Amino acid sequence: MKPYVTYKQLNPLDKPEEQLPPEQGTLPAHKRARWAVLATVLAAMLLAALFTYPLVFLAGSTPSRQDRVRQAPGDACTDPCRITLVESIPEGLTYGSAVPSHPSTFQTWLELIGGAQSSLDIASFYWTLTNADTHTREPSAQQGEQILAELTQLPQRGVAVRVAVSTPKAKQPLDDLEALERSGAAVRKVDLPRLTKGVLHTKFWVVDGAHIYLGSANMDWRSLTQVKELGAAVYNCSCLARDLGKVFEAYWALGVPDATIPEPWPDSYSTIYNVETPLQLQLNGTPASVYLSSSPPALCARGRTEDLRALLTVIDTATDFVHIAVMSYLPTMEFSRPKRFWPAIDNHLRRAAYERGVSVRLLVSCWSHSKPPMFPFLKSLAALQDNRTRYSVEVHAVPLGGPGVGAGVTAGPLVGTSNWSGDYFVQTAGSALVLDETGAGATVGAQLQAVFQRDWDSPYSTDLGSLARWESLCQTH
């Protein structure tokens, strides 16, 4: 049996002393799995077929970085865009045989690195890809160490690497970032605590202005082998990659010393792709409408839909059901002092159940760092279900971690990077991919629904009503 470590989540607004690397522990791997930082909202009954496309890189030249930024966002998108869900399944976490599975985060990152020809931009929260970073001797850290080694080889191949990272706390390791800089990569630390009182919580890659990864996985070896993560990879889709590149350019601009947030942002950061006018393209051979949202509002250039608006639109357009899986759910400003109630999402879920009869299912993480106030709020939401009212609201928790899922749908998914409390939408930098598959061959929503159902029905999922002693079951502080 492999040795193991206890995973400690780096909460974005924790004090520096609370962000130390975890020490070696004694919990088995399947107990260490935590939720992906995503929400799954399925708003319409979708086809049950599963279809995963291969990871394909098209040969040929790609536009320069400067050309990609200047290119008009309204250009017709004729690229053969392909999307696949990407998962990290923790060691020791097992499902039955007839369940959906997808390419691993490790496999996807390796292929993106291996296929990079000209550029790789990474927006990230923090970097701990090696055993040295976490002071451990965990064999499963090998995957993260391989990713770091491959990244440091890219500049020697003529690939321009840029990394935008949240400004590290005083005691966070810097070895990975220094190794990247020695290799020739450019690294900028974005001081969002000063600019917005948040952090750079986004996790995405843009490769050659043509391929992207966006999901919950941090640049952390534990996100590859010890943590349940979910994201999406989109290939051969320069029109979408260019637009995500504009979000990265905003982070990059804020990474210089004493940077200030432009008001308004220059036109070069603006977009016409949003909730009102999404990008029209062929996705997995099916017509689809797609746009990228961002948070906080101060970082949204003209035309960019804010993350909160995108999420509430998904909920408000649901006609049948809303399925959510998320690490934490708090209708509060979680890290703000004094305490502030923030019911924006909670209100819309209750309205969907009450006014439109939408079935709501919420799957949340239950682990040692879960905030105690989360559970009374969840019980209040679950209390809407009553034999006389016939409202359909169910809440499940996963004690000590367990399977997680990400993404969301209004006839198509919303894949984002934020936990569900107010700070993530008001102060912290996040991003989301929202799509609506309009053709008969829709696949992504069906895959997400299958993943959600797999996790909902798994032995790790427990009805909140049976968690009478949730404090001990979740080992909360």
- For residue 267, tell me if it sits in a domain: yes
- For residue 401, tell me if it sits in a domain: yes
- For residue 2, tell me if it sits in a domain: no
| Helix, strand, or coil (residue 428) | coil
Q: Which of 206, 232, 218 is nearest to 290 (CA)?
A: 232
- The whole-angstrom separation of Cα 293 and Cα 383 is 32
Its domain, for residue 254, covers: 19-474
Question: What sign does the dihedral 416-418-421-424 (CA atoms) show?
Answer: negative
- For residue 11, tell me if it sits in a domain: no
- For residue 12, tell me if it sits in a domain: no
- The whole-angstrom separation of Cα 132 and Cα 175 is 8
pTM for this entry:
0.83
CA distances 140 to 25, 222, 243, Å, are 15, 8, 35
Q: How many domains does the chain have?
A: 1
Q: Which of 281, 106, 117, 89 is nearest to 209 (CA)?
A: 117
| Predicted pLDDT at 14 | 42
- In this structure, which amino acid lies at residue 57? F
The residues of the chain scoring below 50 in pLDDT are 1-74, 401-412, 477
> What CATH code is carried by the domain that includes residue 429?
3.30.870.10
* Token couple for 222: 């534990």
- For residue 400, tell me if it sits in a domain: yes
Pairing, β 160-166 against β 119-124: parallel
Q: Are 232 and 83 a contacting pair, CB within 8 Å?
A: yes
pLDDT in tens, 68-82: 334 444 456 899 999
- For residue 304, tell me if it sits in a domain: yes
- For residue 445, tell me if it sits in a domain: yes
- In this structure, which amino acid lies at residue 247? V
